[in-house]
Structure 1
């Protein structure tokens, strides 16, 4: 079997870089007394103000009950408000409060510092190429339906070499 070392495998690299960036963000963000999950919720709401909980949970790939707990804590801190949805009396829209704005500014500074560290030694042109390539990879995965794509790959592999899939 001819395999690349893990440090040269694309899947490993994407996952490891994401892990290291998250870790750096966690370390720099500790001074704000918020978890990365709470930061993610607020960052999503910053760009998608007025979203409902179901769409936020889906976008962040978390269970609705998990998101609800995050929102409960953020609401208790005064950072998020649940506002009744005018078109659906059962639904609530999520909005950031004014009191969280300074924290969001700090979050942006931390995020920029982490990315600047990650991109040290990489030219602006290389960075743009990297962004373009990663955007295309993401587009490939989202436009083809990740779940159906993966299901078909597993079925194809199983049809060709069932013993390899099971081991």
Structure 2
């Protein structure tokens, strides 16, 4: 283990939390003009990129609770961005597919998202950004390995 102080380790958590909050707030502002939330855009993009998915796959991949995703899905379905289809392999499960309306809104919102991230990335040299990406990937793997055991109710 590296010789790091508790303060240094806490600073990593501090910056990660604040970066996430700021990006979330900035994206909420930028996407509100298109009538989507950041979470809705992420869900639509995930469904689009996989050609369809289930609620269980979304919860596992996005690491969000089923109740959070159910609300997002309900609003996206209400607004005509997704439709539910029975899964031929298991009629108890439904697959989520995006509509043409969703494809059009994703073209706009993904451009907004990518432009914002490109602006942030422009503050880095290529080598710095590559090192940042590698460090974040390593941190993500460490977080996954150190995940606390949970009981059946999902509590710690």
- TM bin (shorter chain): 0.7 to 0.9
The CA RMSD measured in Å over matched residues stands at: 2.3
Is the 1:21–1:118 Cα contact (8 Å) retained in structure 2?
Answer: no
Deviation at 1:81, TM superposition (A): 1.2
- 2: CA distance between counterparts of 1:20 and 1:101? 27
Q: Name the count of aligned residue pairs.
A: 146
- 2: CA distance between counterparts of 1:129 and 1:120? 15
Partner residue, 1:99: 101
**Residue-by-residue CA offset, 1:89-113 (whole Å, 9 max, x unaligned):** 1100111112211211111111112
Who wins on radius of gyration, i.e. which is larger?
A: 1
Change (3 A) 1:3 1:84: closer
Q: 3-state DSSP class of the match of 1:109?
A: helix
The one of 70, 73, 90 aligned to 1:71: 73
Does 104-113 or 56-65 show the bigger shift? 56-65
* Structure with higher helix content: 1
Give the TM-score normalised by structure 1: 0.77
Give the TM-score normalised by structure 2: 0.81
Q: Does 1:62 align with 2:64?
A: yes
Q: 3-state DSSP class of the match of 1:95?
A: strand
Q: Does 1:90 align with 2:95?
A: no
Does 100-109 or 36-45 show the bigger shift? 36-45
